[in-house]
Amino acid sequence: MKHRIVVLGAGYAGAYAAGILARRLSPADTEITVVNAVPEFVQRLRLHQLAAGREIEAPKLADVFAGTGIRLRVARVTAVDPDRRLVAVADAGGGGQLGYDTLLYALGSRGADRGVPGAAEHAFDIAARPSALRLRDRLDGLSEGGRVVVVGDGLTGIETATEIAESRPGLSVTLVARGALGARLSAGARGHLRRACDRLGLTVVEHTSVEAVEEARVLTADGTVLASEATVWTAGFAVDPIAAAGGLEVAENGRIIVDRAMRSVSHPTVYAVGDSAYAIGENGRPLPMSCASAGCTGRQAIEAIVGRLTGRAIADTKPAYIYNHISLGRRDAILHMVDDQGRAKPKYIGGRKAARIKAGIVTMSLWGTSHPTFGLPRRRHRLAAAPEASAETTAAHREGGRVAA
C-alpha cells in the first residue's frame, strides 16, 4: 500500500508543502491528499487590500494542483484522532473520515475577539476571504464622512487602517492602539509610520484598550466613546481547538508543540506548520504567527518528512524570524530587520522602495505556492521502509525537542 500523506489546510504553508512533497516523493509509493474548506487559494497577505476594494486573485486549488498527482478534498476538518490516525471532515456530501500515515497540520489561525463583549457580533475581521468581503460590502455602503474604527495596532491593524484610509479617502478612519503606535519598531520607523498616518488623514488613539463593541460605537476602558459605522477587529488571532480536542500536545494558546523538525512532541506521525505550530526559533522564542514563519516551518517539515520516509539526511533549515514588513497603503511601506531577540534594528527601509519589495514578496509567495509543478524532477525519491515511531523516539521528542527526524 502507498504511504498516505494528508495535508490539512491549503494556505501558504499547506499548499506550498504539499506541492514540494509531490515534487520530491515518488507517486509510485506515496499518495498526497490536501483537505481545505474552500476550493480557492486565499492570499491572506492581501485580505486587507481586498476589504478596502481591490480585486485580489484567488486561484482555484484544482488548477494549482493540476498535474501534481495531489488529491484535493474540499471539506471542513471537524476532528483529528492522532491515536487512530484518522481525520473527520464535513462537506456537501455529508463528510466522512480520512486515514493517514503522515499528517501535516496547517489549518492556520482565525480572528480572536478575546472575549470582548460585542466584538463577535458587531465587528468585522479580515482573517478569511468571506469576512474581508463582508467588510468591503459594508464600506461600500458608507456615505461620505462615514466612520471606521480599526481595533489593534499590530501589523495587520496598521496595514488595514492605512489601506482603507488611502483607498477610501472620503471615510474617517481611526486606529486604536493598546500602547504607543509602532512600539515594536525602531525610532526611525516609528517616525515614518506617524508621518504616513498624518499623510493619510488617519486618526490614532494610543494607550487605549477596548471594553466593548456596539453596533454604532466602540467603548474604551477610560470611558471614551468612538462613533463607528464599521468596526474592524485585528486585536489578535487564535487557532482552532481541533488539535487540543484530538489529544495532541498543545501550548496554552492551542498551537501544536513541535520539535525542531516541526514534528508533534506527542504524536510523531503528525507535523505542524505555519500558525498551527508552536515552534521555537533560533532565538529560543516561539515563532510568531506570520507568513515568514509559515515559510520556514514548512521548509523544515518538508525536509523532515522526505528524510524520514526515504532514509535521507534531514537538513536543518534554522527557523528564524528576521524582519518586519508593513504596508502603508499601495505606495508606502516599512521594512526593517530584527535582532536575535526579536527587537527592531535601528536602520530601516521606507517609502516606495519598501513597498516595491513587499509587493515582490507577495507576488513571489503567490507564484511559488500556485506553481508546485515548477522544476518537477524527472526522478523523484522512492521510499525506504517507513519507520514506525518508537517509544524511544517519542521520549527524545519530549525531552529535548530537537530530534531531527
Q: Is residue 262 part of a domain?
A: yes
What's the pLDDT score for residue 317?
79
Count of the separate structural domains present in the chain: 2
Domain assignment present for 81: yes
Q: Does residue 15 lie within any of the structural domains?
A: yes
* 42 falls within a domain: no
Instruction: Tell me if residue 14 falls in helix, strand or coil.
Output: helix
- Cell numbers describing residue 26: 515518488
Q: Is there a domain that residue 344 lies in?
A: yes
What is the reported pLDDT for 110?
A: 87
Walk along the chain (405 residues) and give the pLDDT tens digit of each residue: 899 999 999 998 999 999 999 989 999 999 999 999 999 999 888 999 999 999 998 999 999 998 889 999 999 999 999 999 999 999 988 889 999 999 999 999 888 888 899 999 999 999 889 999 999 999 999 999 999 999 999 889 999 999 999 999 999 999 999 999 998 899 999 999 999 999 999 999 999 999 999 999 999 999 999 999 999 999 888 899 999 999 999 999 999 999 999 999 999 999 999 999 999 988 788 888 877 788 889 999 999 999 999 988 888 877 777 778 899 999 999 998 887 666 788 899 999 999 999 888 888 878 777 766 565 555 578 888 644 443 333 443 443 333 334
Is the domain of 221 the same as that of 121?
A: yes
Q: What angle do CA 219, 222, 227 make, to 5 degrees?
A: 30
Q: What CATH number is attached to the domain comprising 362?
A: 3.50.50.60
Examine the domain organization and report whether 337 and 273 are in the same domain: no
Q: How far apart are CA 200 and CA 277, in angstroms?
A: 36
| Cell numbers for 56 | 485580489
Same-domain check for residues 175 and 282: no
- Identify the H or E element spanning 212: strand 210-213
The whole-number pLDDT of residue 373 equals: 57
What pLDDT, on a 0 to 100 scale, did the predictor assign at position 405? 41
Determine the pLDDT at residue 180. 94
177 and 134 assigned to the same domain? yes
- In a domain, residue 14? The reply is yes
pTM as predicted: 0.89
Residue 250 domain boundaries: 3-37+75-109+239-321+375-400
Strands (E), 298-402: 323-327, 333-337, 349-350
267 in the same domain as 144: no
Tell me, yes or no, whether 388 and 265 share the same domain. yes
- Residue 402: the pLDDT is 37
- Residues 128 and 258 reside in one and the same domain: no
Note whether 363 and 391 are same-domain residues.
no
Q: In this structure, are 97 and 122 located in the same domain?
A: no
Residue type, 97: Q
